[in-house]
């Protein structure tokens, strides 16, 4: 549905129902209904970061990558399909119906409307609290803490010549600790 086909409500029409209205276009209740789905929030987030019309398949791939905490290139066919179908059948038509996007289902083209920018303040709360990623940073903190603890244990054992540690040269222990940090750091940078 295009914005031209959407019935126009004035602030007075909705305010008389006791609902607050964003820029005279959409009520706060409608905003929360639209953004209650994580996939719809991710779709709006993607559109917020792009210019001009986008292909539905590109949008679906990025949403799938965010959901699976991976890159678009590393997605499996099943991961793509699990995200693509609900977006195609449900979420994008809902966003189109509410006037947030213009969705040409037949051509697979999605265009954002000015309402995407108006939803930004609701999405920025989610971005800043890391709800979307499910606390991904905490997981990496745990990995770094584990590698640090293991490295400290190995280095102390080698420094104080504990029985098993005398069998391995100290340089090998240091190399293992550095390799572990290198592995965690590279994995972390690739996942972001």
pLDDT digits (tens, 9 = 90+) for 15-65: 444 444 444 467 788 888 888 888 898 998 898 888 889 999 999 999 999
User: Given this model, what pLDDT does residue 25 score?
Assistant: 64
- Any residues with CB less than 8 A from the CB of 102 and at least 6 apart, and which? 1, 2, 3, 96, 110, 111, 113
User: Given this model, what pLDDT does residue 65 score?
Assistant: 92
72 pLDDT more than 50: yes
> Cα separation of 54 and 110, whole Å?
5
Cα 5 to Cα 54, 89, 97, distances in angstroms: 21, 21, 10
H-assigned helices in 112-169: 114-118, 120-129, 136-159
Q: Is 120 helix (H, G, I), strand (E, B) or coil?
A: helix
pLDDT in tens, 2-17: 444 444 333 334 344 4
Any bridge partners for residue 103, and if so which?
Answer: 110
| Positive/negative CA dihedral, 102, 78, 37, 66 | negative
User: Given this model, what pLDDT does residue 171 score?
Assistant: 82
Write down the pTM of the prediction.
Answer: 0.53
């Amino acid at each position: 549905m295009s914005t031209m086909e959407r019935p126009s409500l004035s602030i007075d029409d909705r305010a008389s129902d006791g609902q607050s209205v964003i820029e005279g276009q959409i009520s706060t209740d409608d905003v929360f209904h639209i953004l209650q789905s994580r996939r719809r929030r991710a779709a709006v987030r993607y559109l917020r970061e792009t210019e001009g019309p986008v292909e539905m398949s590109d949008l679906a791939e990025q949403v799938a990558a965010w959901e699976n905490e991976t890159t678009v290139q590393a997605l499996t066919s099943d991961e793509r399909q699990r995200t693509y179908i609900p977006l195609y059948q449900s979420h994008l038509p809902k966003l189109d119906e509410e006037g947030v996007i213009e969705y040409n289902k037949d051509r697979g083209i999605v265009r954002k409307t000015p309402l995407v920018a108006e939803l930004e303040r609701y999405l920025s709360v989610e971005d800043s609290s890391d709800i979307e990623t499910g606390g991904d940073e905490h997981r990496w903190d745990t990995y770094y803490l584990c590698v640090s603890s293991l490295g400290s244990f190995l280095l102390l054992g080698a420094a104080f010549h504990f029985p098993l540690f005398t069998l391995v040269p100290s340089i090998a222990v240091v190399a293992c600790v550095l390799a572990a940090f290198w592995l965690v750091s590279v994995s972390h940078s690739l996942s972001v």
